[in-house]
């Protein structure tokens, strides 16, 4: 690939998906796009780029998909899900007692392990949530991962990563070499295609947002803009969960880290993005 082709792809991917590739990532682009070129019966990446420059829309969408990293697993990092069960949901059950509804957004849901981990946490608390309306909205840029997520079919390797055996036995049914997630858990998650670079205010307000292991691929300005926009769709006493290697610190003051709850953030009252009355105080103090 020529330097000009690489520059074209870098600019294109930044605009379309937010992916911020450094100057030394040609090998990554080549390893992801060469199979795509071959599939389109093209000899190599220069020819693929030439087609893209000529506006081959279906091909450009495939390039965006091929360049996304979809790595995920059940109960990834464990701690956010422990927080969810031990602190966030109990506190929200108190705070939303009049409304009896909780809305959760999983903002880069990949093949479903993350939203379904959340769904299993809710299911495990179904006694406390009896009569409540709970919504989990799973969104991703990639239509391919959303289709896999909707199917709820996982390989042996996938269910061995992070999923406690008791939950496997309880919520999955073996189908040949695959494991089918039971219909009641699948029905708890709504799937929608959504690019985080685009407006998402139409999704409405959420009590909890999981936006994990996606912003790491974006540059600082894009992250800051997305944090601002996330704060606008999070309830003033809501919770944002980020990935283990991610933080708002030094990037945005729209959120503040929640002390003693690593990976969790609250809207910043000083910025007017939060009410200041954080519901977890009671639960955290009791630990």
* Nearest CA among 220, 255, 224, 223 for reference residue 241: 255
Q: Under the criterion CB under 6 A, does residue 273 sit at the interface with ligand SAM?
A: no
Q: Which stretch binds ligand SAM (CB under 6 A): 68-76, 90-98, 159-167, 234-242?
A: 68-76
Applying CB under 6 A, what is the total number of residues that bind ligand SAM?
22
Distance CA 239, CA 15 (A): 28
Count CA within 13 A, CB hemisphere, residue 150. Answer: 12
Among 37, 48, 92, 140, binds ligand SAM (CB under 6 A): 140
Q: Which is nearer to ligand SAM, 140 or 235 (CB)?
A: 140
Q: Are 104 and 210 in contact (CB under 8 A)?
A: yes
Question: What does the per-residue mask of binding to ligand SAM show for 154-193, with x meaning CB under 6 A?
Answer: ----------------------------------------
**Rounded to the nearest whole angstrom, what is the least distance from the CB of residue 217 to ligand SAM in the complex?**
6
Among 108, 120, 122, 188, binds ligand SAM (CB under 6 A): 108
**Rounded to the nearest whole angstrom, what is the least distance from the CB of residue 79 to ligand SAM in the complex?**
13
Site residues (CB under 6 A) for ligand SAM, limited to 109-128:
110, 114
Q: Which stretch binds ligand SAM (CB under 6 A): 122-130, 140-148, 157-165, 254-262?
A: 140-148
Q: Under the criterion CB under 6 A, does residue 195 sit at the interface with ligand SAM?
A: yes
DSSP annotation string for 55-117: T-HHHHHHHHHHH------TTTTSHHHHHIIIIIHHHHHHHTTTT-EEEEEETT-TTTHHHHH
Q: Which is nearer to ligand SAM, 87 or 196 (CB)?
A: 196
Among 112, 238, 243, 263, binds ligand SAM (CB under 6 A): 243
- Residue 124 exposed, middle or buried by CB count within 10 Å (0-12, 13-18, 19+): middle
- Other C-beta atoms closer than 10 Å to the C-beta of 33 total 21
Q: Which is nearer to ligand SAM, 59 or 64 (CB)?
A: 64
Distance CA 132, CA 95 (A): 13
Q: Which stretch binds ligand SAM (CB under 6 A): 65-73, 161-169, 252-260, 279-287?
A: 65-73
**Rounded to the nearest whole angstrom, what is the least distance from the CB of residue 142 to ligand SAM in the complex?**
4
- Other C-beta atoms closer than 10 Å to the C-beta of 165 total 9
Among 125, 168, 178, 197, binds ligand SAM (CB under 6 A): 197
* Structure-token pair, residue 59: 């091909």
Taking CA atoms, 258 is separated from 101, 189, 205, 239, in Å, by 23, 27, 20, 9
Distance CA 183, CA 193 (A): 21
Among 2, 31, 70, 190, binds ligand SAM (CB under 6 A): 70
* Nearest CA among 155, 148, 139 for reference residue 204: 139
* Structure-token pair, residue 9: 């792809």
Interface residues with ligand SAM (CB under 6 A) are 17-18, 68-72, 76, 108, 110, 114, 140-142, 145, 195-197, 212-214, 243
């Amino acid at each position: 690939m020529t330097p000009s082709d690489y520059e074209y792809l870098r600019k294109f991917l930044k605009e379309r998906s937010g992916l911020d590739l450094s100057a030394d990532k040609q090998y990554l682009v080549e390893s992801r796009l060469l199979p795509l070129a071959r599939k389109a019966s093209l000899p190599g990446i220069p020819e693929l780029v030439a087609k893209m420059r000529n506006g081959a829309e279906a091909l450009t969408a495939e390039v965006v998909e091929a360049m996304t990293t979809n790595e995920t697993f059940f109960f990834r990092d464990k701690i956010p899900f422990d927080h969810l069960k031990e602190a966030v949901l109990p506190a929200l059950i108190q705070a939303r007692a009049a409304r009896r509804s909780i809305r959760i957004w999983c903002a880069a849901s990949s093949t479903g392990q993350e939203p379904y981990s959340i769904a299993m946490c809710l299911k495990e608390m179904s006694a406390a949530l009896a009569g409540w309306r709970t919504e989990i909205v799973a969104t991703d840029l990639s239509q391919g991962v959303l289709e896999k997520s909707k199917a709820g079919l996982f390989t042996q390797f996938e269910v061995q990563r992070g999923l406690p055996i008791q939950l496997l036995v309880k919520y999955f049914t073996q189908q040949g070499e695959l494991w089918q997630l039971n219909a009641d858990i699948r029905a708890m998650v709504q799937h929608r295609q959504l690019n985080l670079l685009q407006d998402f205010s139409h999704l409405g307000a959420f009590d909890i947002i999981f936006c994990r292991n996606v912003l790491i691929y974006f540059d600082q300005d894009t992250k800051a803009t997305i944090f601002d926009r996330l704060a606008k769709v999070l309830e003033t006493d809501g919770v944002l969960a980020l990935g283990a290697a991610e933080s708002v610190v030094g990037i945005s003051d729209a959120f503040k880290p929640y002390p003693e709850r690593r990976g969790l953030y609250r809207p910043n009252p000083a910025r007017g993005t939060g009410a200041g009355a954080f519901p977890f105080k009671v639960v955290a103090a009791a630990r």
